[in-house]
Amino acid sequence: MKKRSLTFNTIIYGFRTIINFLFPLITFPYASRILSVDSMGKVNFSASIVSYFSLLAGLGIQTFAVREGAKIREDRKKTSEFASEIFTLNLITTLLAYALFLLMLACNEKWHEYTGIMLIISLTVPLTTIGMEWVFTIYEDFFYITVRSVIVQIASIIFLFLFVKTDKDLYLYAVYTVFSAVGANILNVFLVHKHVDIRLHISKKILPCMKPILILFASTAACQVYLYSDTTILGYLTSDADVAKYNAAVKVYNLVKNVLLVIGTVSMPRLAGLLSDENLDRYKGLFTKLFNVLILLIVPCVVGLIVVGKNAVVILAGARYVQAGTILQILSLAVPASILGSFVASAGLVLFGKEVLILKATIAAALLNIVLNIILIPSVGVEAAAITTVLSECLAFIIEYRGLQEKKIVSGIVKNMIQTGIASAVMGIVCYGVLSCFGSSLIVGTACSVAAGVVIYALLLRLQRNQIFDEMYAKMKTKIVRK
């Protein structure tokens, strides 16, 4: 199997992630103006409820499948048998999760007013399972994943503009939400045979795998709780309008977060391969390099969100969502802990078999998030949900990073942190100054501020002779010259 470079995989999968979040950000201004704030809140609340059953259906299987599948992917027969066992297990958990969802939907009176929307959004559960995205991740087939995603996102936009015309089209908007999120998985069903031969297969060999799978599931569950409990608790303690405002901020926050998480996603199979070959030194070198790259990207993103966050939300969602700007500024402080914590967990702790530590970290974070949400939301309001997210992400990262450093994996990051901190601080001042010069010209001012920030940040890194930036710059320059 021909391996593409990590740089190519990162760029192409990063493009896919941007597309997956950029298209909704393009369509969100349209939807938020067509649908009322309350209607948007209903969709957001329904999605948060369904997410818990999606989590139960997934059972932590994807992370385990990528980790173990990457070790045997050169042998099609072994990989096909392994993939068939994993898919069969996933199918069983999906059926159980969906049955539980329908039962709770029938019994919970609070959910009855959301029944239609929840049923539509619940289609994400089986579509995620049959999509078997983890197979394509095992084989680092990120080019296919990206092309497929672009096609589906374009089709979903056409659907939105053609059929969602008034506030009465709420259910059609829910259909759009499902199709844009997991519609691409339908194509996977017809193309998965490119890598493996899938069949229904139950084997006793899967039993020893259940312990790490269940630990990963528990970790993912705890993580999901503190990611979505904000929306769920807001839905119970406040209004649909507050839920919509909070989720408007979360959309922008998730765009930044998921683009940066690409590095962890595309590097995990490669790092797993290095460990399986017992090449620990090369693993440490690559891990540290990627950790430094993340620092280089994260710090300016945080500063940028703080400076232009309010403008970004108003541009995307309209003046009715102005409160979401403050929420986004608070959430931006969670970006470093969230991104670095996810990278440490998926590309570090999981590969060393330290799933229990991840579980402890995520349970601690989830409990902190839920308790603080219940205490603070009634008195502080919707902003409290953002504050608790920041504190929870920081707690999880501290626990996970300390656990990884027992193996002395990360080193040589202090100089890079200082240089990116200085460059980002100056960039923030410049961005704020540019933004102030344009006054009420919201779109032009924000665009110019961001452009100026990127240029200033790059120049300052060059002046400081930042090693990571210089390597990236030299590689890009070489490729451009060759073309």
Question: In degrees, to the nearest 5, what angle opens at C-alpha 446 toward C-alphas 443 and 448?
Answer: 105
Residues 78 and 222 in one domain: yes
At residue 480 the predicted structure's pLDDT band, cuts being 50, 70 and 90, is low
Cβ distance 351 to 364 under 8 Å?
A: no
More confident residue, 317 or 21: 317
* Mean of pLDDT values over 42-68: 84
Residue 97 has pLDDT above 80, yes or no: yes
User: Residues 125, 126, 131, 134: is their CA dihedral positive or negative?
Assistant: positive
User: According to the model, what pLDDT value does residue 20 have?
Assistant: 64
Tokens, residue 482: 């060759």
Residues 385 and 427 in one domain: no
Q: What is the pLDDT of residues 140-175, one digit of tens each?
A: 777 888 888 888 888 988 999 999 999 889 999 999
More confident residue, 103 or 51: 103
3-state secondary structure of 439: coil
Residues 141 and 250 in one domain: yes
Residues 445 and 339 in one domain: no
Residue 49 has pLDDT above 60, yes or no: yes
Residues 216 and 192 in one domain: yes
Give percent of the chain above pLDDT 90.
29
Residues 391 and 439 in one domain: no
User: According to the model, what pLDDT value does residue 261 have?
Assistant: 75
Q: How remote is the C-alpha of 305 from its chain's centroid?
A: 17
Residue 25 burial (C-beta neighbours within 10 Å; 0-12, 13-18, 19+): middle
**Please, what's the largest Cα pairwise distance for the chain?**
68
What single-letter amino acid sits at 264? G
Domain boundaries, position 108 = 6-411
* Mean of pLDDT values over 92-101: 92
At residue 266 the predicted structure's pLDDT band, cuts being 50, 70 and 90, is low
Residue 272 has pLDDT above 80, yes or no: no
Residues 142 and 237 in one domain: yes
3-state secondary structure of 129: helix
Length of the chain equals 483
pTM confidence score: 0.68
446 assigned to some structural domain: yes
Residues 267 and 300 in one domain: yes
User: According to the model, what pLDDT value does residue 17 have?
Assistant: 66
Residue 268 has pLDDT above 80, yes or no: no
Three-class HEC string of 85-117: HHHHHHHHHHHHHHHHHHHHHHHCHHHHHHHHH
Residue 77 has pLDDT above 60, yes or no: yes
Q: What is the pLDDT of residues 302-313, one digit of tens each?
A: 999 999 988 888
365 assigned to some structural domain: yes
The string of DSSP codes covering 7-65 is HHHHHHHHHHHHHHHHHHHHHHHHHHHHS-HHHHHHHHHHHHHHHHHHHHHHTTHHHHH
- Boundary (domain end) residue, out of 396, 411, 426: 411
Long-range contacts of 405-414 (CB under 8 A, 24+ apart): 407/352, 408/284, 409/283, 409/284, 409/287, 409/288, 409/348, 410/287, 410/288, 410/291, 411/284, 411/288, 412/288, 412/292, 413/288, 413/291, 413/292, 413/295
Tokens, residue 203: 């084997």
Residue 15 has pLDDT above 80, yes or no: no
Element (H, E) at 228: helix 210-237
Q: What is the pLDDT of residues 167-195, one digit of tens each?
A: 889 999 999 989 888 888 888 888 888 88
> How far apart, in Å, are the Cα atoms of 339 and each of 92, 248, 346, 441?
32, 20, 11, 33
Neighbours of 228 (CB within 10 A): 18
User: According to the model, what pLDDT value does residue 95 have?
Assistant: 93
Residue 265 has pLDDT above 70, yes or no: no
More confident residue, 271 or 41: 41
d(CA 63, CA 359): 14
Most confident of 54-68, 103-117, 217-231, 352-366: 103-117
At residue 104 the predicted structure's pLDDT band, cuts being 50, 70 and 90, is very high
Q: What is the pLDDT of residues 331-345, one digit of tens each?
A: 999 999 999 998 898
Residue 34 has pLDDT above 60, yes or no: yes
- DSSP label of 2: P
Residues 456 and 361 in one domain: no
d(CA 389, CA 256): 16
Residues 421 and 361 in one domain: no
Cβ distance 272 to 138 under 8 Å?
A: no
Most confident of 105-109, 196-200, 455-459: 455-459
Residues 132 and 201 in one domain: yes
* Mean of pLDDT values over 314-321: 78
User: According to the model, what pLDDT value does residue 462 have?
Assistant: 93
* Mean of pLDDT values over 64-72: 81
Lowest mean pLDDT among 35-44, 53-62, 170-179, 374-383: 53-62
Residue 479 has pLDDT above 90, yes or no: no
Tokens, residue 381: 């309001």
- Boundary (domain end) residue, out of 411, 435, 451: 411
1 assigned to some structural domain: no
362 assigned to some structural domain: yes
User: According to the model, what pLDDT value does residue 10 have?
Assistant: 65
Closest CA to 284 of 394, 409, 167: 409
88 assigned to some structural domain: yes
* Mean pLDDT value across the chain: 84
d(CA 465, CA 70): 36
- Residues ≥6 apart with Cβ < 8 Å to 451: none
Residues 383 and 432 in one domain: no
436 assigned to some structural domain: yes
What single-letter amino acid sits at 452? A
* Mean of pLDDT values over 319-339: 89
Residue 483 has pLDDT above 60, yes or no: no
At residue 423 the predicted structure's pLDDT band, cuts being 50, 70 and 90, is very high
At residue 472 the predicted structure's pLDDT band, cuts being 50, 70 and 90, is confident
User: According to the model, what pLDDT value does residue 481 have?
Assistant: 55
User: Residues 338, 264, 446, 465: is their CA dihedral positive or negative?
Assistant: positive
At residue 101 the predicted structure's pLDDT band, cuts being 50, 70 and 90, is very high
Number of structural domains in the chain: 2
Q: What does residue 318 show for φ and ψ, rounded to 5 degrees?
A: 100, 170
Element (H, E) at 159: helix 142-163
At residue 422 the predicted structure's pLDDT band, cuts being 50, 70 and 90, is very high
User: According to the model, what pLDDT value does residue 240 have?
Assistant: 81
- Boundary (domain end) residue, out of 370, 395, 411: 411
At residue 267 the predicted structure's pLDDT band, cuts being 50, 70 and 90, is low
More confident residue, 114 or 23: 114
